[in-house]
Chains A and B, each alone.
Chain A
Amino acid sequence: MLRFIIRRLLTMVVTMFVISILVFIIIKLPPGDYLTTYIEELKAQGESVDETRIQFLRERYGLDKPGWQQYIAWITGFVQGDLGWSFEYDKPVADVVGDRLFLTLLLNFATVLFVYLVAFPIGVYSATNQYSWGDHGLTFLGFLGIAIPNFLLALILLYFSNALFGTSIGGLMAPEYIGEPWSWGKVGSVLQHLWVPVLVIGSSGTAGMIRRLRANLLDELQKQYVTTARAKGLHERRVVWRYPLRLALNPFIADIGSLIPQLVSGAVIVSAVMSLPTTGPMLLTALQSQDTYLAGSFLMFLAGLTVIGMFLSDIALAILDPRIRLDS
C-alpha cells in the first residue's frame, strides 16, 4: 500500500509538471504581453510612458527572453513560493490572491461533501424503487439539475432573492467582514453564506452522481447472484447492501475524479456571477487583461486542486476495492 501511495505521489508530481507546462503555454498564447498592452493603453490615453520602469519589469520577468527561459524562471519561482508579479495590480501575485485560494478550497470541499451526502441516499432509493413515483420525480429533478447550467441557476436565485426578499445572496460573508482578519464572527458569517453557492454549484454534480449511482446499482441488481440471493430468501435489504451496493459504490468513488473538475469549473463561473471572493472573478479579469502570472497561478491552483482530489479518490478506491491490484 505504501509503495502504491508513493508511486501515485510521484505520478502526481509528474502530472503537475506537465500541467504547469500546459498552463504556461496557454497563458502565453495571446500575442504580445501585458506590458505591451499597457504601454499602448497609456499612449492611447495620451499619457507619457515611464520607459525605465517598463524596462525594469521587462528585465525582471525576462519578457524578452525565449519562452522556455521564461518558463524556467516562472516555475522555479513558483515552487519556491514566488507566484510572480501581477501587472494589473502592480503587486506580487501572492498579495493579490490573499485568502481567495483558501475560500475556493473551502467552497469546493463543502460542495463535494454536499454532493455525496445528497446523492448517495437518493441514488440508492431511486435504484431500489425503480419506476416508482419517487424515482420518476427524482430523476426529473436530476435532469433539471443537469440541464440548468449552474450560472443560470445562480442568476435565477439572485433574481428571486431580490424580487421576493429584497436581499442580495451574493458574496460569501457579511459586508462588515470583508477585508477584515479572520475571527469567529467572520467564520460564522462565511458558513451562513456558504450554502447558497454550494447548492448552486453542487446541483448538476449531484444530479449526475445520482444518475450514475442509480445506473450502476441497477446493473448490479440485474445480475444472477442477486436473483440467487433473493431465491434463497435473503431479506431484501441484505440483498441490496451485501454486495450490489458495495460494487456500485466503486464507480461512485472513482467518479470523484470527474466530479471535482466539474465542480471547480462550476465554482469559477458561479463565483463570477455571484461575486464571491474566490478565484473565479479574479481569474476572469486576469484572463481578459492578460495578467499572465495572476491567471497562471489561478489555473495552477485549480488544476492542483483536482489532481489532489483524484489522488485521494484513487487511494480510497484502492482501499475499498480489493480487486484493484496495487502492483501491476
Chain B
Amino acid sequence: MTLTRRELLRSTAAGAAGLVVAFHVPLVARAAPRPAAPPLPTPNAFLRIGADDSVTVLLSHSEMGQGIWTGLAMLIAEELECDWAKVRCEHAPAAPVYAHPVFGIQMTGGSSTTWSEFDRYRNVGAMAKDMLVRAAAARWKVAPGGIGVASGMIRSGKNQASFGQLAEAAMKLTPPKAVKLKDPKDWKLIGTPTRRIDTPEKITGKAQFGIDVQFPGLRTAVVARPPAFGSKLVKFDGAAALKVPGVEQVVPTGNGVAVVAKHFWAAKLGRDALVIEWSAPEGGGVTTATQMAEFRETAKKPGMVVSEKGKIDAGLAAAKTKLEAVYEVPYLAHASMEPLNCAVKIENGACEIWTGTQFQTGDQGAAAQILGIKPDKVTIHTTFLGGGFGRRANPASDFVGEAVIIAKAAGVPVKVVWTREDDMRGGYYRPAYVHRIQAGLDDKGKPVAWDHVVVGQSILAGTPFEPMMVKHGVDATSVEGLAESPYLEGASALRVTLHSPKTPVTVLWWRSVGNTHTAFAMESMIDEAAHAAGQDPLAYRMELLKDKPRHAALLKLAADKAGWSTPPAAGRARGLAIHESFGSIVAQVAEISVEQGQIRVHHVTCAVDCGTAVNPMGIEAQIQGSIAFGLSAALHGKLTLDRGRVQESNFHDYQVLRMSEMPRVAVHVMASKAKMGGIGEPATAPIAPAIANAVFALTKQRLRTLPLRLA
C-alpha cells in the first residue's frame, strides 16, 4: 500500500499503524561546537515502519539527482539495522520540523545535505531501533539488553519478530532521551558503494517530476514574460489566443500574460498568438559587450575590502616579477533538462502546490503571502527535480509565485509549464564576472604580493540570506575561495576587493556558485606564476602547499594517477587545478588535445577529500557529473545580452556538453578523517582552469575568458 503524504500525516496524527520517530536537533552553525549530549526529541516524523516491514524514510531535502534519496536512507538504515531492500523514500511535506539543521529553513543546496543531516538521520535510526527493542522486551518479557537486531529482524532466544510485527507497539513508546551511535568501525552501509534506490522508477518512466503532475480538472498555462530585463507589460490583446482550440482563458500575471488551456500545446499556440506591447527596457537594457567593458574599467580600481594584509602597493613595487591578468566569465543559464514548471490548486482557503523545488520554506511563504493565508495552509508536494543546480532554489520564488498568481486569477487548478526558451531567457543566471589580478613574485617565483579585484553582481543582496552572508557590503559568494586561498598564505601583501554592480539581470547560485569563477581566476593565475617562474606547475604548487597536508596529498594523488611525471602522447598536454569548496578539496588533471581548432578533453583524473565518504558510488557519480557540468561552462556556456534581450534561446545556440565530448573520468576518493564536506558541487570548479592550463601547456595560448576559445 502506498500512502500519499497527506494520508501519512493524517495517520501519523491519529496514531495509526506505523512507527514515528521524533527528534530534534537545535540549530547549530556548522562551525559551532556540537552539543555534548544527544538532542532531545520533539514530535516529528522522519521514518515510518509499516506493518509490511517497509521502512519509509521521509526526506527533508529534495532529490534532484545528487543521490540523497539513497544517501540519507543509508544513514537511517545503518543505525536501524533494517533490511536495506525494504527501504523506500518520500519527500517530506513543507513544515518547520524539516528545516535544514544549519540553515534553519527547509531547503536543499550548498552541497550540505549529507554533512548537515549526518547526525540527525543516524539518530532517527538509532532511536527507532531502541523503541523496537523495548517493544520486543515488553512483549517477550525479557531484558532489552539481550535482544539482537539485524536485517529487519529482532531476536531474543527463541523469540523473533520482524520490524513490521513490532512497529505499532514500538510507536506507542516514549522516544529515548539519548541514544548511542555506532562506532565508525562497525559501519556496514556507510562507506560501502551502494546503488541508488530511485533507479526502478527512473528507468521505467514512472518517476514523477513536476511537469508530470496530472489530475482531473488541472489546466496547463504557458506564459508570455517580458522579452528584455527591465521591460514591463503595457497592454495586451488576447482575442486571437482565445480562438486557438483548447484555450480557455487569458489572464495577466502582473508583469506577463498567461494562456490557460486544456493542454500544453494549445497553451503554447495561444501564448504565441497573444498581441502584447512591452515597454522599452529601463535605461536601454544591458548589452554584454558594453557591460563587460564597464566591468573591466571598474576592475582597475579597488572595491569593497574583502581581505587585506600588508601594504599592497609597496609589496607589488618591491616584487622581482610583476604579473597582471584579467579573467572573465559570462552569464550562464542552469538549463536543467526539466524546464521550470509548477502546478497549483487553490480550494477552500488552502493551497496545494506540486513542483520540484529546492526551497520549500520560501515557496510556501511566498504562496501564503500572495493568497493572504497562513503558511500552514499551503501544502507543498515536492516531486523529483529534473535537475536543480541552484535554479530551483530561488529566494524570489519566481516560478512558484507566478503559478500561484495564475491559478488564483484563473480560478481553476493550473500547471504552468515553461518552454525551453522561456527557461533559458527567464533570468536567475550565474552572474558575469571580471577578475583583475596583479601578482608580485619574489626571486624564487613565489607570490609575495597579490592584488585581486572582483567585479560582478551580488547573488545574495535583497534575499533573506543577506543579513547572514553579506558582511560590510561583501557578498561572500562573490569571492569564496579567494581570500582564504592556501597559495596566498605566505604573501606579505594581499588585497582582495569586490565591486557588486547592480543590473536588471536577475542572478542566482549555479552549481558551485562563486567558485565557478574564483577557481578559474586563481588556478589560472597560479599557473601563470609557475610558468613565469620557469617551474613545473605541479612542483610550483607543491612548494606553495607544503604546509597544507590535505591539499598537497590530494594534488600528489591526482598527479600520480594521471601520470604527470611521464609525458603525454604527442599532440596532447596536461593541466591541473586544485580547489577547496563546500568543505571538500578536489584536485583534477585534464589531458587535452586540439582537433580542428577545437579543444578536446580526453581524460580527467580527479582526487577528492570530502571527509567521511557515505556512498562512494554516489560520490563518483557526483564527480563525473560535476565535471560534465563544469565542462559545459568551460567549452560552451555563454549568454549574450543585447539591449536587455537574451540572444540565446535553446540547446542549438546555448550548447551544453554532449556524449561525444565527455572525457574518461577517473575518480580517487582519499581516505580521510577530516570533517565531512559536500560532494554535489566541489568538482565543478577546477575543470575549467585545469583545461585552460593544459591548453597553455600545449599551445602557449593563455585563455583568460570562459568559454575557452582558441585564437
Are A and B genuine complex partners? Answer: no
Residues of B within 8 A of A (CB): none
Q: Which residues of A contact B (CB under 8 A)?
A: none
